[in-house]
């Protein structure tokens, strides 16, 4: 196989690396020994040193054991970017468990379904969501529910103000049965000895992430310690500069990308903590909150999705801000349009950050990023070059055979971050992961692209049906299967509609059955989606049609429906 990208690498970027055969907990523990008294996390007006972070992780591992945790148990983390999410992730990993990562705004029905699918008996959940869930989580599958508060690791003043402002809205936490508050859960560690660090093969299951698979159908992706640690080892090459080796302690990153997503978990948290890069945890993204954190902490590294950068340009409090502290700005999760890229780079330059956005490409089946734009030779309208030990080729959509440089086909990836499998789905795994004539196992991404003569990857479009609302994957097939169960819906199609801030949102085309009026049916469909799916799946538009346009083979013509919407984009508050 030819590797044209290697000659395009930054001079310090290595072709090959050695990857550790230990756990993620051990990777962070090794870093903590070097920087014991130095800050690892910032959170509102408080901070946590590496020694304090490891103490909390070890304490949580004692509490897990006291609460009946066994190695290989699956524990569900359904939390925003708060210290408990970080602490529990590494504590579960330390104990040999598997972290099942869910969106903190997941509806109760989806949480229960996912926990049944993953055989997960324990749930750490955002306390602000419990009032909405009611008793829907009281399921025989779920033996332990631990509500976690945003306020727990705040400084005393900030916590008091938070409780004063939001305490009544959040409400009183349930008691008894499966419920145990996070402080009471941690108190189980009192008087307990430290359990030994569980030793398991680095290439065994450690994390479950949820995505649309390479076909757009929801899947549970099984990833290992080796996968995440490989990404961390690749990090210094990505963050290096022409001035030579970089002291990672000189860097600070704002962890605003959600930890239930490969990008936020793999890049935004584990890579940073493993390398000793200081981390600022931000539980909720709003442009103004982001602006406040940027001005306060002056990050050197910023990784986000297009919506985040769009929000930066709109934030009033950044209009006069000095952003010269930014050294590396990365965009992934969704394609960055040339128009938005120009606007964001102009904004950065006007505020003292003389740099280009470095785009990347990846998918959850490979943890996250596989390719990233180099520091020195950042080529626009590409998603960069394959990382160390990552191989990318473009294959014919019909035959699967490799195509010459410059030709369009399916992007295929192989390397140390390849997933283990889809959970309990051998057929889907076999479809996505295929052994080629070179003897390597390649992930067929379901994305259309090409590679130029210098090895730069160009992402063209998704072949799979996924809508990225503010960077969060929404699955049209999941919405359609739910809505078509309604007795007054004959046909339904969920499609992408352009949005000026969220990039894209969901629009529904519906062929009605019966004589129910549009307003009533719309309200019922919206409620059905609200009850069962993430808030991002709620349609910005429901349009009733007499019949669906069809392709030549008789399928609903999704492209025709999307084209009909481009002339009438939604308002920004849709």
CA–CA distance, 409 with 399 (Å, rounded to integer): 10
- 204 pLDDT exceeds 70? yes
Nearest Cα to 463, choosing from 487, 476, 478, 447?
447
pLDDT attached to residue 560: 87
pLDDT attached to residue 330: 96
Tokens found for residue 541:
């538009």
- 554 pLDDT exceeds 70? no
Exposed, middle or buried by CB within 10 Å (0-12, 13-18, 19+), for 271?
Answer: buried
- 7 pLDDT exceeds 70? yes
More confident residue, 286 or 425: 425
Length of the chain in terms of residues written: 574
Q: What is the pTM of this model?
A: 0.87
Average pLDDT over residues 195-220: 89
CA–CA distance, 272 with 175 (Å, rounded to integer): 37
The predicted-structure confidence for 101-117, as pLDDT tens digits, reads as follows 999 999 999 999 999 99
pLDDT band at 292 (very low <50, low <70, confident <90, very high): very high
Domains in the chain and their CATH numbers? 4-17+209-462 (3.40.50.12780), 45-200 (3.40.50.980), 467-565 (3.30.300.30)
Cα distance from N-terminal residue to C-terminal residue, the chain: 48
pLDDT attached to residue 481: 87
pLDDT band at 570 (very low <50, low <70, confident <90, very high): low
Neighbouring residues of 264: CB distance < 8 A, sequence distance ≥ 6: 81, 255, 257, 258
E strand residue ranges, 113-263:
122-126, 144-148, 205-211, 219-224, 252-255
pLDDT attached to residue 220: 96
pLDDT attached to residue 403: 96
Average pLDDT, the chain: 92
Q: Are 249 and 275 in contact (CB under 8 A)?
A: no
Nearest Cα to 106, choosing from 258, 224, 272, 215?
258
pLDDT attached to residue 250: 94
Neighbouring residues of 378: CB distance < 8 A, sequence distance ≥ 6: 356, 358, 384
Give the burial string for 303-330 (b: 16+ CB within 10 Å, else e). bbbbbbbbbbbebeebeebebeebbbbb
pLDDT attached to residue 336: 84
More confident residue, 468 or 335: 468
- 568 pLDDT exceeds 70? no
pLDDT band at 558 (very low <50, low <70, confident <90, very high): confident
Residue with tokens 């006069």: 320
Bridge pairing between strands 122-126 and 144-148: parallel
Average pLDDT over residues 380-385: 95
Measured over the CA atoms of residue 46, residue 50, residue 55 and residue 57, the dihedral's sign is positive
pLDDT attached to residue 244: 65
- 572 pLDDT exceeds 60? no
Neighbouring residues of 57: CB distance < 8 A, sequence distance ≥ 6: 25, 87, 90, 91, 94
pLDDT attached to residue 245: 64
DSSP 8-state secondary structure symbol assigned to residue 264: I
CA–CA distance, 244 with 329 (Å, rounded to integer): 19
Average pLDDT over residues 471-481: 86
CA–CA distance, 554 with 287 (Å, rounded to integer): 44
Strand-pairing partners, residue 410, are 395, 448
The predicted-structure confidence for 31-87, as pLDDT tens digits, reads as follows 999 999 999 999 999 999 999 999 999 999 999 999 999 999 999 999 999 999 999
CA–CA distance, 541 with 505 (Å, rounded to integer): 9
pLDDT attached to residue 557: 85
The predicted-structure confidence for 487-503, as pLDDT tens digits, reads as follows 999 889 999 999 888 88
More confident residue, 459 or 501: 459
pLDDT attached to residue 567: 58
Average pLDDT over residues 219-236: 97
Q: Residue 351: left (phi > 0), alpha (psi -120 to 50), or beta?
A: alpha
The predicted-structure confidence for 428-453, as pLDDT tens digits, reads as follows 999 999 999 999 999 999 998 999 99
More confident residue, 519 or 140: 519
pLDDT attached to residue 552: 62
Residue 486: CB atoms within 10 A of its CB come to 18
Q: Are 154 and 46 in contact (CB under 8 A)?
A: yes
% residues pLDDT > 70 (the chain): 97
DSSP 8-state secondary structure symbol assigned to residue 368: S
- 313 pLDDT exceeds 60? yes
């Amino acid at each position: 196989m030819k590797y044209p990208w290697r000659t395009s690498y930054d001079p310090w970027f290595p072709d090959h690396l050695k990857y550790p055969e230990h756990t993620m907990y051990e990777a962070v523990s090794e870093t903590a020994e070097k920087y014991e008294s130095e800050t690892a996390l910032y959170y509102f007006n408080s901070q946590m040193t590496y020694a304090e972070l490891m103490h909390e992780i070890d304490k949580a591992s004692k509490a897990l054991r006291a609460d009946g945790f066994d190695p290989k148990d699956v524990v569900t983390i359904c939390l925003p970017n708060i210290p408990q999410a970080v602490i529990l992730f590494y504590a579960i990993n330390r104990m040999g468990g598997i972290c099942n990562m869910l969106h903190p705004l997941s509806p109760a029905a989806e949480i229960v379904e996912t926990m049944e699918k993953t055989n997960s008996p324990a749930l750490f959940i955002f306390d602000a969501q419990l009032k909405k869930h009611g008793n829907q989580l009281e399921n025989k599958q779920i033996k332990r529910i631990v509500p976690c508060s945003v306020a727990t690791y705040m400084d005393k003043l900030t916590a008091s103000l938070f409780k004063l402002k939001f305490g009544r809205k959040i409400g009183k936490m349930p008691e008894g049965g499966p419920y145990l508050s996070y402080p009471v859960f941690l108190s189980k560690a009192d008087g307990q000895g430290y359990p030994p660090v569980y030793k398991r093969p680095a290439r065994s299951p450690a994390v479950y992430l949820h995505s649309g698979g390479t076909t757009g159908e929801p899947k549970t992706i099984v990833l290992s310690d080796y996968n995440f640690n490989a990404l961390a080892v690749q990090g210094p090459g990505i963050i290096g500069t022409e001035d030579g080796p970089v002291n990672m302690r000189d860097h600070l990153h704002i962890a605003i990308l959600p930890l239930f997503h490969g990008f936020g978990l793999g890049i935004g948290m584990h890579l940073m903590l493993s390398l000793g890069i200081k981390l600022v945890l931000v539980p909720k993204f709003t442009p103004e909150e982001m602006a406040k954190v940027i001005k306060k902490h002056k990050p050197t590294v910023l990784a986000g999705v297009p919506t985040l950068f769009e929000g930066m340009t709109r934030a009033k409090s950044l209009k006069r801000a000095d952003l010269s502290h930014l050294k590396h700005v990365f965009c992934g999760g969704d394609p960055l349009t040339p128009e938005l890229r120009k606007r964001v780079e102009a904004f950065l330059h006007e505020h003292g950050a003389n740099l280009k956005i470095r785009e990347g490409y990846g998918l959850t089946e490979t943890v996250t990023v596989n390719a990233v734009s180099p520091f020195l030779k950042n080529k626009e309208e590409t998603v960069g070059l394959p990382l160390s030990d990552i191989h990318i080729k473009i294959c014919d959509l019909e035959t699967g055979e490799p195509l010459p440089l410059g030709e369009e086909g399916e992007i295929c990836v192989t390397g140390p971050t390849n997933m283990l499998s889809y959970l309990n789905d051998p057929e889907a795994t076999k479809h996505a992961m295929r052994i080629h004539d070179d003897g390597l196992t390649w992930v067929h991404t379901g994305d259309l692209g090409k590679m130029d003569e210098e090895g730069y990857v160009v992402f063209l479009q998704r072949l799979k049906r996924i809508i990225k609302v503010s960077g969060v994957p929404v699955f049209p097939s999941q919405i359609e299967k739910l809505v078509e169960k309604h007795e007054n819906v004959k046909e339904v199609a969920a499609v992408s509609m352009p949005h000026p801030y969220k990039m894209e949102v969901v629009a529904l085309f519906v062929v009605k059955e019966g004589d129910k009026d549009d307003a009533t049916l719309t309200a019922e469909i919206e409620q059905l989606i609200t009850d069962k799916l993430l808030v991002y799946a709620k349609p910005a538009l429901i349009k009733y049609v007499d019949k669906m346009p069809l392709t030549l083979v008789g399928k609903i013509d999704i492209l025709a429906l999307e084209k009909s919407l481009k002339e009438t984009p939604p308002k920004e508050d849709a």
